Chains A and B, each alone.
Chain A
Amino acid sequence: MLKATRITKIFNRQTIIDNLSFSVETGETVTLMAPSGSGKTTLISILAGIDREFSGAVTITGHRPGVVFQDPGLFWYKTVKENIVYPLGLKKIAWCSKMEARYREWIAAAGLAGFEDHYPHQISRGMKQKSAIIRTFLCNPDLVFMDEPFSAMDQASARSIVDHIRILHPHITLVLASHSLGQATGFSNRVFEVTKTPMSVFEITTP
């Protein structure tokens, strides 16, 4: 479970997020729908524990949060495969046959087979986003924050990725940030509309 309580973020004397509270239950997929420039990336960074300069509290039940950033954030000097397996080394997760099988399954589902030895500048933006998604999910997280994860993908590719997440990680909790109502209602159990600066949030629908 994720619980955000009275989060306030002030940057350059401007209130970006004002007293924001909401909660997400385990296994839910929740979308924070917000227009560009509203501060949803800041909110995701706060929720994921990357940005610690805010007031309020974020409580996460579970031990394996992961983040998929809006920009894929791949290392330019690593191949697709090296980028995908990069966190395993940091998290000291051993490369075993089970991991290899999961990796192969993800690569096939994302249509990245044959591109594993390519460098990021040699693949499309959509492929980069898919690589970033696999990189996060290969670590077997139980809660994932995804910031505009499908912005460079068509609806079918995005649907395929979400379906694959649901198959491989049936009990995962997903928090998506998106500006697309179609994606928000299509992939989520609940949708929160996030208003522009200063940010506040309210639930608009339960698809």
Chain B
Amino acid sequence: MTFFKPLVSPLVSLGIVMLLWGVGSLFFDPFVLPSPLETLGRANLLCTPEFFEHLSFTLGRVMTGFVLSFALGTLVGIIAHVLKITAWVEALMMMLQVLPGLIVGVIFLLMVGVGSVAPVLLVVTMTTPLIAINTAAALAKADPLMEGVIRSFNGTRMDVIKDLYIPLLVPAMRANAGMGTTMAMKVALLGEFIAAENGLGFLINVARIYFNMQEVLFYVVVILLFVLVVQLVISAVFMGCFKKYFYPG
């Protein structure tokens, strides 16, 4: 039963989204908003080998961008804490977060051309600030008393890092992984929309040119399912292996 518990809220959320979509489709022409049943009914026609090839391009870009953002954002957050410049770094990261992805995407398109590099760069630019801010905020929670406790027992700097800072980072890393992958997916799609000749973002762009809303919404469902699966995997890994590091409640 415990294994299925994390599945409940995401599946209920998906059900609510589908329900709202279904209700909304009653008020619009299928040309504007086709119903979930109509859309998913075409799944067998849309799930071609080409579709899976496009999907693999998108997933590759999302994962590459996310891994780079995760590493860079965590590093920036740690450096900001160590050098006691968290406020400055947070202000800088906020500025980066506010940058419109569309504009940055066009700049990367002009810089590196069409392909995988521009979407990945866009993911890194847009996701890293989120992770850096979250990491710095988690480290700021470190209680000086706990450091004093470790020091009073002859603990070294390494012991403080191992026993205080890393355990504090675990919940932040779980949040970063969840938010980061969702953000990476959204931004990668935007990058593909602007600067790629393959991937789900590219497919959505082509479908919307022809106002093929069934196809557009089918890709949206695929994206939703991917994000759900990733969230469940992250939740299972962290709650399975690192549950004790999460503050109660």
Contact = CB atoms under 8 A, between A and B. Distances in A.
| A and B bind | yes
Interface of A: 45, 48, 50, 66-67, 69, 71, 73, 75-77, 86-87, 90-91, 119, 121, 139
Contact of A73 (B149, B154, B167, B248): B149
Interface of B: 143, 145-146, 148-155, 159, 163, 167, 244-245, 247-249
Mostly, the A contact residues are loop
Mostly, the B contact residues are helix
B153 A73 contact: no
A50 B151 CA distance: 7
Contact of B159 (A48, A50, A90, A121): A90
Given A75-B163, A75-B167, A90-B159, A67 B248 contact: no
Nearest to B149: A73
Given A75-B163, A90-B154, A69 B248 contact: no
A91 B149 contact: no
Q: What 3 A-B pairs have minimum CB-CB distances, sorted nearest first?
A: A87-B153, A73-B149, A67-B152
Given A75-B167, A90-B154, A91-B154, A121 B149 contact: no
A82 to B, nearest CB: 10
B141 to A, nearest CB: 11
B159 A69 contact: no
Contact of B145 (A66, A73, A139): A73
Given A75-B163, A75-B167, A77-B245, A66 B146 contact: no
A117 B148 CA distance: 25
Contacts of A66: 152
Contacts of A48: 152
Nearest to A50: B148
Contacts of B163: 75, 86
Given A90-B150, A121-B248, 8 more contacts: A48-B152, A50-B151, A77-B167, A77-B244, A77-B245, A90-B153, A91-B153, A121-B249
Given A73-B148, A76-B247, A86 B167 contact: no
A40 B38 CA distance: 73
Contacts of A75: 146, 163, 167
Contacts of A45: 148
A11 B85 CA distance: 21
Contact of A71 (B145, B152, B154, B244): B145
Contacts of A67: 148-149, 152
A35 B246 CA distance: 36
Contacts of B167: 75-77
B13 to A, nearest CB: 29
Given A77-B245, A90-B159, A139 B153 contact: yes
A115 to B, nearest CB: 16
Contacts of B152: 48, 50, 66-67, 69
Contacts of B155: 90
A53 to B, nearest CB: 13
Contacts of B247: 76
Contacts of A71: 145
Most chain A beta-carbon neighbours within 10 Å: one of B143, B148, B155: B148
B146 A73 contact: yes
A48 B148 CA distance: 10
B149 A69 contact: yes
A87 B153 CA distance: 6
A119 B243 CA distance: 12
B108 to A, nearest CB: 41
A86 B149 CA distance: 11
A119 B248 contact: yes
Nearest to A145: B152
